[in-house]
Amino acid sequence: QVQLVESGGGLVQPGGSLRLSCAASGSVFSIKRMGWYRQAPGKQRELVAGITTGGITNYADSVKGRFTISRDNAKNTVYLQMNNLKPEDTAVYYCNANLAPYSGNNYFDSWGQGTHVTVSS
């Protein structure tokens, strides 16, 4: 069984920084795309940033220039460095990975449990 375990959320003042981490544990044969999504109260979940196995990234327009996604393929881990945080970044952040647990298995999307990020003075 595969688990995605997130860490690094918390309370930060506007203009501050946080770094989120997400590690895949359990049976993991291969991971394709990894990404971070967020869901603010009363809003739909939205893509924040994604990264391919080869390191190609994409970002939501609202975070471009402030957030950086990266991954360590050897550790099955994805990171999200968030700088110059704004109150509108407040949300629950979810890690996502498109992975196959065993060789020959189909790939499927796995989700973390979510980590809270609150930006407030």
Number of Cβ atoms within 10 Å of the Cβ of 15: 11
The pair of three-digit structure tokens given for residue 2, joined into one six-digit string: 């595969």
pLDDT at residue 118 above 90?
A: yes
**Distance (Å, rounded) from C-alpha 40 to C-alpha 55?**
27
pLDDT digits (tens, 9 = 90+) for 12-67: 999 999 999 999 999 899 999 999 999 999 999 999 999 999 999 999 999 999 99
**Cβ within 8 Å of residue 61, ≥6 positions away:** none
pLDDT band per the 50, 70, 90 thresholds, residue 105: confident
| Beta-ladder partners of 31 | 99
Distance of CA 22 to the CA centre of its chain: 7
**Distance (Å, rounded) from C-alpha 15 to C-alpha 95?**
23
pLDDT band per the 50, 70, 90 thresholds, residue 112: very high
Average pLDDT over residues 93-109: 92
pLDDT at 103: 84
Helices (H), 41-119: none
Residues 93 and 6 sit within 8 Å (Cβ to Cβ): yes
**Distance (Å, rounded) from C-alpha 84 to C-alpha 106?**
39
Distances (CA, A) of 96 to 4, 14, 25: 8, 26, 13
